[in-house]
Chains A and B, each alone.
With several copies, the nearest count.
Chain A
């Protein structure tokens, strides 16, 4: 089984990936997912995270089958 990872917007361009499927082995939290996605980069405070389409923090537990997303600050709406 696995974790589905999604990456959006400027973060996707910076990391050069829009996501991946990761084996769940050794992954307990959102921070663990980030360590696999970008092993050479600390998880910056400006990166937003979601688990199963709800906002989450880095220490939130992740289990088999979860969808984990990383993205920059949102800029919808209008001027």
Chain B
């Protein structure tokens, strides 16, 4: 039941390997995870670096609410959200979400819910650097 915001690069697989999901391990049949990475391309332009701003306090609150909703709705054993902030480079992991459940459909659906809702509800803002200019990302891509 962890929500973590980090200004340091994180390794999603180490994050998962080091995490012990709540609940009886013998009853967990499924883990679905999603990892988002920074690309060096957006809307046709080359991106050199990116800055991710957040609203300390509210962002955590929004992510915790989201996690609690997913855990309740799909009766998950556990869920995890890790999100990067600060200055990122291409290939850096931006976000990790994970859902653990008795059965596969619950884990898969909860994982998708977490990443989709996070994009519309959690206060994060991206500013892209393109060579010597920069721009705020105005809206999220539909898919």
Identify the A interface with B (CB < 8 A).
6, 8-10, 13, 48, 50, 53-55, 69, 71-79
A79 is contacted by which of B36, B61, B121, B139 (Cβ under 8 Å)?
B36
CA distance A10 to B39 in the complex (A): 21
A72 & B136 in contact (Cβ 8 Å cutoff): yes
Q: How many A-B residue pairs have CB under 8 A?
A: 93
Question: Residue B30 at the A interface, CB < 8 A?
Answer: yes
- Residues in B whose Cβ lies below 8 Å from that of A71: 55, 123, 125
> At the interface, yes or no: B20 with Cβ under 8 Å from chain A?
no
Interface residues of B in 44-63 (CB under 8 A from A): 52-55, 57-58, 61-62
The answer to whether B52 touches A76 (Cβ under 8 A) is: yes
Is B91 located at the chain interface by the 8 A CB criterion? no
Listed by A's residue number, 5 A-B pairs whose Cβ atoms lie within 8 Å are A72-B136, A74-B123, A77-B122, A77-B140, A78-B36
CA distance A75 to B58 in the complex (A): 15
Interface residue count on the B side (C-beta < 8 Å): 37
* Given A78-B104, A79-B102, 6 more pairs with CB closer than 8 A: A50-B123, A72-B138, A75-B125, A75-B139, A76-B126, A79-B36
Q: Is B23 an interface residue (CB 8 A)?
A: no
> Chain B interface (Cβ within 8 Å of chain A)?
29-30, 36-37, 39, 42, 52-55, 57-58, 61-62, 83, 94-95, 102-104, 115, 118-127, 136-141
Residue pair B123, A79 in contact (C-beta under 8 Å): no
A11 smallest CB distance to B (angstroms): 9
Q: Are B119 and A77 in contact (CB under 8 A)?
A: yes
A10–B58 alpha-carbon span in the complex (Å): 18
Contacts of B102 in A (CB 8 A): 79
Cα A20 to Cα B137 in complex, Å, equals 25
